[in-house]
Amino acid sequence: MNNPHGIELREAHFPGQVPIDAYGNGGFRFADMAHKGSLLCLPSGIYGWDVKLPGDLIIANLDRVFNEAADIEILLIGSGVDLVPIASKLRDKLRDAFISADPMATGAAVRTYNVLISEGRAVAAALLAVDG
């Protein structure tokens, strides 16, 4: 998208799966870059994700996950500071797509994601940014 000042604004996207180096202060560090806000880490890459609260973890906000379902076995859901259970409708939709969902605090999800991608597993992560 172009604006009148000649700056091209693009959706935040990093192609490929890389470890998350750090999290906190409302964002994440990976691949020598910093991102403010939440992330969707998928087989096709890492995307900025406009989701801020655990209550926003709904089917409509996970379209990209369902679009790549054939390449995902496990979805880690980092729900912020605390573990927040997955809503039953979302869990059912993920199960129908043959995706095993594992909710946990964002820090635990980041650590687990890093281990699973290092093992070459078919993993994705939906990570809510946390402060602190």
Domains of the chain as residue ranges with CATH: 13-127 (3.40.1230.10)
Task: Encode pLDDT of 33-72 as tens digits.
Answer: 999 999 999 999 999 999 999 999 999 999 999 999 999 9
pLDDT at 1 over 50: no
What's the first-to-final CA gap in the chain, in angstroms?
A: 33
pTM beyond 0.85:
yes
CB 88 within 8 A of CB 101: no
Task: Encode pLDDT of 17-31 as tens digits.
Answer: 999 999 999 999 999
* Higher-confidence position of 96 and 6: 96
Task: Encode pLDDT of 90-117 as tens digits.
Answer: 999 999 999 999 999 999 999 999 999 9
CB 97 within 8 A of CB 47: no
Residue among 89, 87, 131, 123 at smallest CA distance from 106: 131
